[in-house]
């Protein structure tokens, strides 16, 4: 049934395809900016909350629970030495996850841009001069600068 309906459906025009690609490109660029903002926010929150937790726990341990033996003090100080290293690794992990997400987004963005360039080259070859000029003015403002 789908094959029968698809025969009567018109193929999307070049302008419609280019509009869709432009919309997708804009969405990917907005996603990249949003992703960078989220990375900054999450890293800042991680550092802020971990620093506050670290300071509060240091004060609590120093005021209420500081053993008199040196071995007890060393054992109690061990988490305070490990905690900054743990936070540093968490920060690196967050940066790696966000950069992987950004990299995937950039790959899709480059694919769309190359697809758009390919379609614009086909427009220059196949369309009439008037239509090609209108399409290029609308979707490739850089072509004027090149000429």
Q: Which sequence spans correspond to the domains of the chain?
A: 14-140
Q: List all residues 6 or more positions away from 15 whose beta carbon is below 8 Å from its beta carbon.
A: 135, 138
Is residue 105 a contact partner of residue 29, using CB atoms and an 8 Å limit? no
Give the Å distances, CA to CA, from 104 to 34, 94, 114: 14, 16, 16
Global pTM reads 0.72
> pLDDT tens, position by position, for the chain (147 residues)?
556 666 677 777 888 888 999 999 999 999 999 999 999 999 999 999 999 999 999 888 888 887 788 888 888 889 889 999 999 999 999 999 999 999 999 999 999 999 999 988 888 888 888 888 888 888 877 765 555
């Amino acid at each position: 049934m789908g094959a029968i309906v698809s025969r009567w459906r018109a193929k999307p025009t070049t302008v419609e395809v280019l509009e869709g690609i432009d919309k997708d490109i804009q969405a990917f660029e907005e996603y990249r900016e949003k992703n960078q903002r989220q990375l900054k926010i999450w890293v800042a929150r991680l550092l802020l909350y971990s620093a506050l937790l670290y300071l509060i726990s240091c004060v609590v341990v120093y005021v209420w629970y500081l053993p008199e033996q040196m071995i007890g003090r060393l054992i109690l100080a061990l988490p305070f030495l490990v905690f900054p290293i743990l936070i540093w690794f968490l920060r690196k992990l967050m940066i790696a996850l966000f950069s992987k997400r950004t990299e995937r987004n950039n790959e899709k963005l480059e694919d769309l841009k190359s697809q758009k360039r390919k379609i614009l080259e086909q427009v220059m070859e196949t369309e009439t001069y008037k239509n090609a000029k209108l399409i290029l003015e609308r979707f490739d403002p850089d072509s004027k600068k090149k000429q």
